[in-house]
A and B are shown apart, each in its own frame.
Chain A
């Protein structure tokens, strides 16, 4: 039987030749993904987005945050659009004279070329998650000032924290990092200045304002952690005449739970304000505070001394290879059932996990 006339094997058409070439091209033995991708609709839309709204992120605003939620669907800055409409509204109310040139430049800034300040809405990097906001970081000047107050003026961390509205742990961290930075400068190790400048210009910042009498705090410094014991709802019947305070409530939640006044990081602020309410003069308030601080320091020193003494009591025998440390132990610490966590030695039924396989060997702390 003769082959059918229109068979491509008999009459090679141009389209067929094209196809053949295509298959020959795609027959590569490389395992790396092909660079030329199919132009699907999704990819076309992506490139359209890159050319329009995406340009806002390719060429970010100088000296401003540049998050997704700061832009509307058309890729315009929401705050600029709002400011322009506000201005138009105001001008309409005031007289209605021509203001067409104002409306034209809605893509840029306001009339004097400056961007309006960001609101919380503009500081959300994830449009779907309103609970996460990019919160300000300490500016370089502020960090320098914190370092100066602690290291040069010798103020206490507590004092600086309360006056600048910065958490105590952050104050410590700032000083620690600044010390390293200064050390690098001293030995001539190059800093990552261009990187730091670029990043700081992209982030919201808390600036140092010495002239401001009531500056906005960087963060809340008196955070009360939610204690697990306070999670339960307790109905506690008591007499109406009873003066039922926070201390009583804490005791009902848990025998060892302290009231909020003592669990916040800055209890001294409460005490000082109490003194102030009692009508004491400023000098007396400060003197009482100083006395409290001294008592606290004494207590801390005593605890340190005790720890030092305990360490000295450990008998160390050095045989050249090991330091054998001998301490007194109490056999009863294993407890009635022999499973107390302080118990030492081999006990019946208590597995020793020292040599078990698969145990995680990642260190849990670095000193």
Chain B
């Protein structure tokens, strides 16, 4: 028997993932048919909602986690609290000052607390769920894998249990590379092959290096030592090395634009890119002969050129303007322009082309991510370091529930009653 599809089209089941099939199913999600008996309604509601909320958690496990009590809060106005002591609510009761409670039914309905949307709130406390909600993984199952593979730390300690229940104030961190892999666009098969080649070469180089190190150790043991080069010389050498690496990165980026299968590159742009690559190559040849300042200026102009190439500034007029501008830049860069160029350089450094990574480089978000990108209020996330703090348990408040769930109140209420009967 073949395994059932996780994202099927035949039966609409919304899953906890950023998959495009899932997004399509989310648009097709409808309330289940009524005019059936209560048991059938409850069963459907339970199975629909459990397909999203921790479907990989055993039913018995979830039943043990389920709580009938639902946490909720009411925002209080400190001015109201200061000006009234509560007696105004009872004043005049029974002597004609009483107002009917439901004078504005529409308004009161809007301010009701959606308790039933909190049915699955206990699941949000799990570590894997929190990792997914913080946008560190593309599905709850992937988040669980990250946890079990030891990629997640809680308060600085490795925590390999996906079922760890976070306490308010717990901080969790995920390995940055894993997050980039989970949320980044995937590689093409060609890029995968290239990456494999790089890994193989690296392995070989590592072997050679270790052999060399061993040999050197033997030399040192024999009493031979090398003269260390002077500090200032080392500085300029290192800078040159860095600039060379930057140039190499630029070349790689240009190459990726040239061979990008997603967007066709026109003949004119191809010529432009090739000219650019030639220029980079020429600069690379003369790196060792130039001063640091010259190199920086050259690099900055190259980066700006690459940016224009990337931004489809292909039409002749723009090109002309660009040429003039770049010429003027070569002569004299105003401090503002220099700052801009430095920023562009930093941008290309922090998002480089690196075929050895398991995701497409330069990094870009995976397709269909934006439809699922939200962060619930019970988490405070810092995406720069891929870490988040679990502030408190999710609560319901007038008009809002903090548990992200694709289902309407009726389905959640039925699911709640399903689990309630076992208590």
Contacts and interface: CB of A to CB of B under 8 A. Distances in A.
Interface in B319-359: 350-351
B375 to A, nearest CB: 5
Contact of A225 (B73, B351, B369, B386): B73
B382 A177 contact: yes
Nearest to A138: B380
Nearest to A249: B86
B375 A137 contact: yes
Given A46-B24, A195-B183, A243-B87, A223 B75 contact: yes
B384 A196 contact: yes
A314 interface: no
Interface stretch (A49-57, A77-85, A341-349): A49-57
B250 interface: no
B20 to A, nearest CB: 7
Interface stretch (A89-97, A103-111, A197-205, A208-216): A197-205
Contact of B391 (A54, A169, A224): A169
A307 interface: no
A49 B24 contact: yes
B85 A57 contact: no
A173 interface: yes
B406 A128 contact: yes
Given A125-B372, A198-B364, A222 B78 contact: yes
Contact of A270 (B74, B78, B155, B184): B78
A228 B364 CA distance: 47
Interface string B389-400: 101100101011
Which bucket holds chain B's interface residue count?
35 or more
A220 B44 CA distance: 36
Given A57-B23, A126-B26, A132-B117, A362 B399 contact: no
A189 B23 CA distance: 36
Contacts of B405: 126, 129, 132
Interface string A218-247: 011011111010000000000010011111
A363 interface: yes
Q: Is the interface of B mostly helix, strand, loop or mixed?
A: loop
Nearest to B75: A220
B21 interface: yes
B90 A128 contact: no
Interface string B1-43: 0110000011000000000110110110101000000000000
Contact of B87 (A43, A132, A245): A245
B171 A176 contact: yes
Contacts of B404: 125-126, 132
A150 interface: no
A181 B350 contact: no
B309 interface: no
B385 A42 contact: no
A129 B76 contact: no
A126 B180 CA distance: 25
B242 to A, nearest CB: 13
A255 to B, nearest CB: 18
Interface string B160-183: 010111011111000010011001
B83 A277 contact: yes
Contacts of B373: 65-66, 134, 199, 202-203
Q: Most chain-B CB neighbours within 10 Å: which of A172, A194, A266?
A: A194
Contact of A54 (B24, B78, B180, B375): B24
A128 B372 contact: no
A366 B159 contact: yes
Nearest to A196: B383
B371 A224 contact: no
Given A131-B409, A137-B375, A195-B363, A170 B69 contact: no
9 contacts: A60-B369, A169-B392, A195-B383, A199-B383, A226-B71, A270-B82, A273-B82, A277-B83, A366-B155
Interface of B: 2-3, 9-10, 20-21, 23-24, 26-27, 29, 31, 69, 71-79, 81-83, 85-87, 90, 93-95, 114, 117, 135, 154-155, 157, 159, 161, 163-165, 167-171, 176, 179-180, 183-184, 350-351, 362-365, 367-377, 380-389, 391-392, 395, 397, 399-409
Please give me the 5 A-B residue pairs with the lowest Cβ-Cβ distance, nearest first: A246-B86, A134-B374, A173-B389, A220-B75, A196-B383
